[in-house]
Amino acid sequence: MANMRMDKNPMPEQDPKVRVTNFDEVALGYPLEAAMDEAARCLNCKNPQCRTGCPVSVRIPEFIEKLVAGDLDGAYDIITSTNSLPAVCGRVCPQEKQCESKCVRGIKGQSVAIGRLERFVADYHMNKPDKAAPAVPPSNGHKIAVIGSGPAGLTCAGDLRKMGYDVDVFEAFHKSGGVLVYGIPQFRLPKEIVAAEIDNLKAMGVKIINNAIIGKSITVDELFEDGYEAVFIGSGAGLPQFLHIPGENYLGVYSANEILTRTNLMKAYRDDYDTPIKKFNRVAVVGAGNVAMDASRVAKRLGAEHVYICYRRGRDELPARLEEVEHAEAEGIEFNLLNNPCAIHADETGHVCGIEMIRQELGEPDEKGRRSPVAIPGSNWVLDVDTVIIAIGTSPNPLIRNTTEGLTFTRKGGIEADENGATAREGVFAGGDAVTGSATVIMAMGAGKTGAKSIDEYIKSKSK
């Protein structure tokens, strides 16, 4: 008999006043009792709409049913049959726009907390002392190269290894994980969680070669010469976009990527590391996606007294995950909505002293259905800040584009690939942000899965 409580069980979290003073995880995870109680809210629908909302089709009612029966290992096996990074997805997927948006329990109350349950099962498994090593088939003798160790590359590598391929992942950074380690902060996705998921892949036999920049250390052509029979490019979209407004070159203007990389990957927030980072007090973060929320909350934790989100649309249009917006608000981030930055001001030493904005009102919906901002003439004003962090999106880095023959690219610099991940060059497949531009973890994972399947078909077709 299902539990007909209308609301989700709340997620235990660190108190906002305490958490702004540390980088520890904000959401603490369900204890067993809360998870079982929440799982009992699932109706185990015959035609589960939640599953259609999941880009990797996790068998949601089946894993929840196992949970209700107390079979946590069974629940984990069901989730990981389609999702190789469940502890990550349970923490960062925008469930309110995906599986949970389709859950029937959401019609008359709140949806089942699918993401929180997925995290619970993944964490249970991660903390289990007597885990068996994942079973993988012996090598089939075919070597595949994967470029990039973000969610696209890791998923592709894991799936290929499960099919018997020898997989080497080439990663430019000294740490593996892509945005999961250099972008998303520790307080939202602890690095140990990503490291544990990566260790799992390594235990399956996936090799990761760090500090290897494809296009510099070695080219795609040289990978083929070295005996790799196919290449998957999952190199992400790490090149920050800027506003192209006057004053963007003043001292104290940063991309969110730079602040986040220095803080997360280079550990600038820790006294035992000497990574330099600016001391700031009043910070404007331009943009309102997950990256902007992360940058603003990092700035707060690094000691800024006032952190402002500056965004040209309104609250209903905020692109960030709802939970991130709520967490940012609870931590005292101030939202300057319907304000479009048009210039950055500096003092006589060239250091930022303000950001000029024009107030906006919402006009007609654009092609995506979002109402477009329209400037209110003469409404310019200046917000007094000493730092501006730009978080308005990223595009793919041009290195692979400039060093690889035979690929074609979109107007925005993404690699052109068809629905199977195949590029214009034989044997080269691509997926994730490198193709789509900045998107989501689960979309990148879905592309990695598709890429692995297509590479398997390609190798088999060649061997016939």
Residue 293's nearest CA partner among 335, 262, 246 is 335
Position 323 contacts ligand FAD (CB under 6 A): no
Of 27, 45, 343, 399, which one interacts with ligand SF4 (CB under 6 A)? 45
Nearer to ligand SF4, 58 or 452 (CB): 58
Choosing among ligand FAD, ligand SF4, none, which partner's interface includes residue 400 (Cβ < 5 to 8 Å by kind)? Answer: ligand FAD
The sign of the dihedral angle between the CA atoms of 421, 422, 424, 425 is: positive
Backbone Cα Rg of the chain = 23
In whole angstroms, how far apart are CA 446 and each of 19, 154, 394, 422, 433?
33, 11, 20, 14, 11
Of 9, 26, 34, 48, which one interacts with ligand SF4 (CB under 6 A)? 48
- Only one of the segments 17-25, 101-109, 324-332, 403-411 lies at the binding site for ligand SF4 (rule: CB under 6 A); that segment is 101-109
The residues, ordered by sequence, that sit 6+ positions from 219 with a Cβ below 8 Å of its Cβ are: 403, 404
Position 42 contacts ligand SF4 (CB under 6 A): yes
Choosing among ligand SF4, ligand FAD, none, which partner's interface includes residue 153 (Cβ < 5 to 8 Å by kind)? Answer: ligand FAD
Position 197 contacts ligand FAD (CB under 6 A): no
- Only one of the segments 116-124, 148-156, 273-281, 373-381 lies at the binding site for ligand FAD (rule: CB under 6 A); that segment is 148-156
Nearer to ligand SF4, 49 or 372 (CB): 49
Size, binding site for ligand SF4 by CB under 6 A: 14
Choosing among ligand SF4, ligand FAD, none, which partner's interface includes residue 150 (Cβ < 5 to 8 Å by kind)? Answer: ligand FAD
Determine phi and psi for 69, rounding to 5 degrees: -80, 0
Nearer to ligand FAD, 72 or 147 (CB): 147
Residue 413: other Cβ atoms inside 10 A: 15
Strand-pair category, 230-233 with 428-430:
parallel
Of 92, 160, 352, 452, which one interacts with ligand FAD (CB under 6 A)? 92
d(CA 179, CA 394): 12
Choosing among ligand SF4, ligand FAD, none, which partner's interface includes residue 148 (Cβ < 5 to 8 Å by kind)? Answer: ligand FAD
Q: Provide DSSP, 388-454.
A: EEE-S-EE--THHHHH-TT--B-TTSPBP--TTSB-SSTTEEE-THHHHSS--HHHHHHHHHHHHHH
Nearer to ligand FAD, 126 or 218 (CB): 218
The answer to whether 409 and 114 have CB atoms below 8 angstroms apart is: no
Position 52 contacts ligand SF4 (CB under 6 A): no
Residues found near ligand SF4 in the complex (CB under 6 A) = 42-45, 48-50, 60-61, 103-105, 112, 114
